Structure 1
Amino acid sequence: MNRTDAILEAVALERRFDVSAPWLNRVIERKPRQTLRAVDGVDFQIRRGQTLAIVGESGCGKSTIAKLVTGLYEPSGGAIQFHGDPNRMQMIFQDPYASLNPRWRVGRIIAEPLRTLRPETSAVDLGARVDELLRTVGLSPSDASKYPHAFSGGQRQRISIARALAGDPEFLVCDEPTSALDVSVQAQVLNLMKQLQRDFGLTYLFISHDLSVVRHMADEIAVMYLGRIVEIQPKADLFERPLHPYTRMLLETIPDLKVPNRDRKPMGGEVPSPIAPPKGCSFHPRCPLAFDRCMSERPVRNADVHQGRVACFAAEETRK
């Protein structure tokens, strides 16, 4: 990718959390400080108008990246370079029940970004913009006078999307935006997001644990494991020719309606603690292809190996 095409770049991005016991406990029990590496040297770029999806199991660091990108967390190392207007970056949160103020009417919720970013906007223009946004996300202007409790989960997420659109964004960070919704409602919200992307030229960073959702939304997919990106590929390539053993294991979990009774291998083992990750490749305790080098040396995404798309010694040696 030409760097001028990228709207956002993450370079050696890190985020560490101090999870040590209280000072007195450490003194009495003679315990050292403990650090959790939630994000551990992550690199990626997102092209304008495209969707990069980050997938992985719970606790792998996906949502931490979302908060780093939006500035809710400061990086512990590395950098995020946003090639655009920071005021035109917005976020859609996971829980539509917790992300809307229950004491505010919908009209006020949607208008709040405009009041903040464009305080000169008149009350008449604010009302007209709120009505327009409600129509855009498939709701009625009359809904502006209601409170969030009057809406279903899918409708609340549409309100959240309208709020995100109020500031005329060019880049949206979507942190598991449909995971709290029923499957039928998920499809409606995802289709709406795809349509909005086409209509307004939006760029998405889409966080999800659900590969079926990602398959519908993404142009490129980054697979995370224990704070690191182990594989990043265009969507079609990743689903057709996954390079990392962990990616293959994730793909095995997707139901296939054409072969519902196929012999699927369950994902073995548990994710190690990010406080004390394994030496070498952090996936090696669960990897069917692990060998001695994996246990002592940490793989990196090497430009000479599959164009830098995978961090895996087995893939590097073209082991199957």
Structure 2
Amino acid sequence: MPDAAVFVEAQDLVRHFDVSRPILQRLAVREGKRILRAVDGISFTIPKGTTLSLVGESGCGKSTVARMMVGLYGTTSGHVLFDGRDLKQARAASDQRRRLQMIFQDPYASLNPRWRVADIVAEPIRAFGLAQGRDAVLARVAELLTQVGLSPLDGQKFPHEFSGGQRQRISIARALSSNPEFLVCDEPTSALDVSVQAQILNLMKDLQRRLGLTYLFISHNLAVVRQVSDRIGVMYLGRLVELAPAETLFTIPRHPYTRALMEAIPDLEMTGRTRIPVGGEVPSPITPPPGCAFHPRCPLANDRCRRERPELLAAEATMVACHAVQEGRAG
């Protein structure tokens, strides 16, 4: 993609959390600070009107990246550029802040149970002054509810009167109410039934086509993101290990961890085939292993993998951080 098409960019993002015990307790046992490295140097770009998905096991830092991209978490180091401007500067201006929104994972927790749906959806409209007068606000709310497949009459109900899929539609309507251009979707379907997941994903693709939206989509399930993604980044222990066009990733996965995730996807055509599960546990982000973070679980690891951390380098259409791939040992 040409640079002119880049709309959102992450530049070497790092986010560390201090999870140390209180200082008096640490002094008593002569213990140093404990730093959790949630995100440990991630860079990517998202061209306008496209979807980048980040996938990986729980605890790999995906949701932390999502919150950094909209400014809910600050960065320990690195920058988020939104439409060519640093996010810290962009959020200082009201017009810039309304252009990015977030859809949260749990539709049961992200909606105020004491507010009617109309008030929930109308809050960003009022906050950013996008409509004047009560009638204009209610008309815009009715339009948004219709846009996400609900009835304008649903605006008079409370969130507890809806199913999980309907609540997520309300969350999407609220996110769209500020006329955003960039949406960060933090596992928006993981709390929903499989049949409802498909409906929400189809709705989001339709909204992207009609409104020209740009998405950062977070998920732990590769099968879910395949139909919505233009590119997919695979995360492991706070870093990107592979970044590729969606179909390339599914056709020719390069990194051993990506291959392991592929093995976990249910597939009727693979009935009877022996699957090779990835062994071991995800290392602690407080005390990550030296070298490649995946080497304790990787069947291709050698001494270099245990000693030297791989960089994300081009391998045909894919960016991959793996010594085995770069040395031609991956097969």
TM-score normalised to structure 2 length: 0.94
1:250 has 2:242 as partner = no
Q: Which amino acid aligns with 1:311?
A: A
1:86 Cα deviation after fit? 3.3
1:119 Cα deviation after fit? 6.2
1:297 has 2:308 as partner = yes
1:266 Cα deviation after fit? 1.3
1:314 has 2:328 as partner = no
1:217 Cα deviation after fit? 1.0
Deviations 1:242-276 (A, max 9, x none): 11100000000001122222211112110000000
Q: Which amino acid aligns with 1:36?
A: L
Identity of aligned residues (%): 61
- How many residue pairs align between the two structures? 319
Q: Which amino acid aligns with 1:113?
A: P
Range with bigger deviation, 2-11 or 259-268: 259-268
Q: Which residue of structure 2 aligns with residue 29 of structure 1?
A: 29
Q: Which residue of structure 2 aligns with residue 143 of structure 1?
A: 154
**Distance in 2 separating the partners of 1:318 and 1:96:** 45
Q: Which amino acid aligns with 1:46?
A: I
**Distance in 2 separating the partners of 1:6 and 1:202:** 13
**Distance in 2 separating the partners of 1:75 and 1:188:** 34
1:279 has 2:290 as partner = yes
Q: Which amino acid aligns with 1:253?
A: A
Q: Which amino acid aligns with 1:114?
A: I
| Residue number among 230, 234, 241 corresponding to 2:245 in the alignment | 234
SS of equivalent to 2:226: helix
1:40 Cα deviation after fit? 0.5
Q: Which residue of structure 1 aligns with residue 41 of structure 2?
A: 41
| Residue number among 115, 120, 142 corresponding to 2:126 in the alignment | 115
Q: Which amino acid aligns with 2:225?
A: V
Deviating beyond 3 angstroms after TM superposition, the runs of 4 or more aligned structure 1 residues are 305-308
Any stretches of 5+ residues in structure 2 without a counterpart? Answer: 85-95
Q: 1:8 to 1:119 in 2, by over 3 A?
A: closer
1:63 has 2:78 as partner = no
Q: 1:53 to 1:119 in 2, by over 3 A?
A: closer
Q: Which amino acid aligns with 2:82?
A: F
SS of equivalent to 1:159: helix
**Distance in 1 separating the partners of 2:317 and 2:160:** 49
| Residue number among 122, 135, 153 corresponding to 2:164 in the alignment | 153
Superposed CA RMSD: 1.1
**Distance in 2 separating the partners of 1:142 and 1:213:** 31
Range with bigger deviation, 111-120 or 6-15: 111-120
1:4 Cα deviation after fit? 1.5
Q: Which residue of structure 2 aligns with residue 91 of structure 1?
A: 102
8 A Cα contact 2:248 2:317, kept in partner: no
8 A Cα contact 1:16 1:37, kept in partner: yes
1:309 Cα deviation after fit? 0.2
Q: Which residue of structure 1 aligns with residue 145 of structure 2?
A: 134
1:26 Cα deviation after fit? 0.2
Deviations 1:41-97 (A, max 9, x none): 100000111000000000000000000001000000011100073321010000000
**Distance in 1 separating the partners of 2:316 and 2:285:** 27
SS of equivalent to 1:217: coil
Any stretches of 5+ residues in structure 1 without a counterpart? Answer: none
Q: Which amino acid aligns with 1:136?
A: Q
1:132 Cα deviation after fit? 0.5
**Distance in 1 separating the partners of 2:70 and 2:271:** 40
8 A Cα contact 2:244 2:318, kept in partner: no
8 A Cα contact 2:291 2:306, kept in partner: yes
Q: Which residue of structure 1 aligns with residue 276 of structure 2?
A: 265
Q: Which residue of structure 2 aligns with residue 215 of structure 1?
A: 226
TM-score normalised to structure 1 length: 0.98
8 A Cα contact 1:114 1:121, kept in partner: no
Q: Which amino acid aligns with 1:223?
A: V
Deviations 1:80-129 (A, max 9, x none): 10007332101000000000000000000000000001166211110000
Q: Which amino acid aligns with 1:109?
A: I
SS of equivalent to 1:309: strand
1:76 has 2:76 as partner = yes
**Distance in 2 separating the partners of 1:191 and 1:119:** 27
